[in-house]
Amino acid sequence: MTDLAASRTAEVPPRPTRSCVLDIVIPVHNEECDLPGSVRRLHQYLAAEVPYASRITIADNASTDNTLAVAEALAEELPDVDVIHLDQKGRGGALYVSSKFAVRGLVAALAHELAPQIRVNGVAPGGTLNTDLRGLASLGLDDVRLDDTPNRARDLEARTPLNVALSAEDHAWSFVFLASDRSRGITGETIHPDGGFGIGAAKSAQE
């Protein structure tokens, strides 16, 4: 499902953080005045009252004021505070992307906690052919299948640097590799079988 939101998401480069067992996501839009006090109060409470490692992620949903700059300043000031930013406002996009970050953090935390007995890794595929992924029922789109989109394969190919449209079978090989002894030195990682979508736009025919 990565392709539903990643195309309009700009990720602020993450700072090194410790493994956390509690991730709190704060979606914001044009909250430059209220954000500093709210985040500082929450951060102080977590430090004083919560007995395990935690992290606050501020998810800026296409703010048009100085919310993003304020959030980035808070991330620099306070430990275990991160920021993600969406370029376009949408229905639940900030929560969707934030949940992706939370899963990545969970993989890292579990890998550290369960080592050396167990390795923990994740797979985050890009757009996928031949799925039954449908729209949101709350928007009346539960009968709309993403795979029924005209020229779906060609669209996926055009959006990836490798010019490929991948299927579930393609993604399965990532799981096979991570479950095998060939990956015995890998833990805490999330790999992205997405045709290069996450590293940049597809190259033009002239390139």
What is the distance between the alpha carbons of residues 190 and 44, in angstroms, rounded to a whole number?
A: 31
Radius of gyration of the chain from its Cα atoms, rounded to whole angstroms: 19
Task: Find the helix or strand (DSSP H, E) in which 24 lies.
Answer: strand 22-28
Q: Of residues 8, 96, 99, 153, which has the active-site annotation?
A: 96
Omega prior to 116 cis, within 30 of 0: yes
Q: How far is CA 68 from CA 39, 51, 101, in A?
A: 13, 30, 18
φ/ψ of 115, rounded to 5, equals -70, 150
φ/ψ of 83, rounded to 5, equals -135, 140
Q: Within 10 A of 108 (CB to CB), how many other CB atoms are there?
A: 20
User: Half-sphere exposure of 19 toward its Cβ, with a 13 Å CA cutoff?
Assistant: 11
Residue 52 appears among annotated catalytic residues: no
φ/ψ of 88, rounded to 5, equals -125, 135
Q: Within 10 A of 200 (CB to CB), how many other CB atoms are there?
A: 9
- The catalytic site residues sit at 96
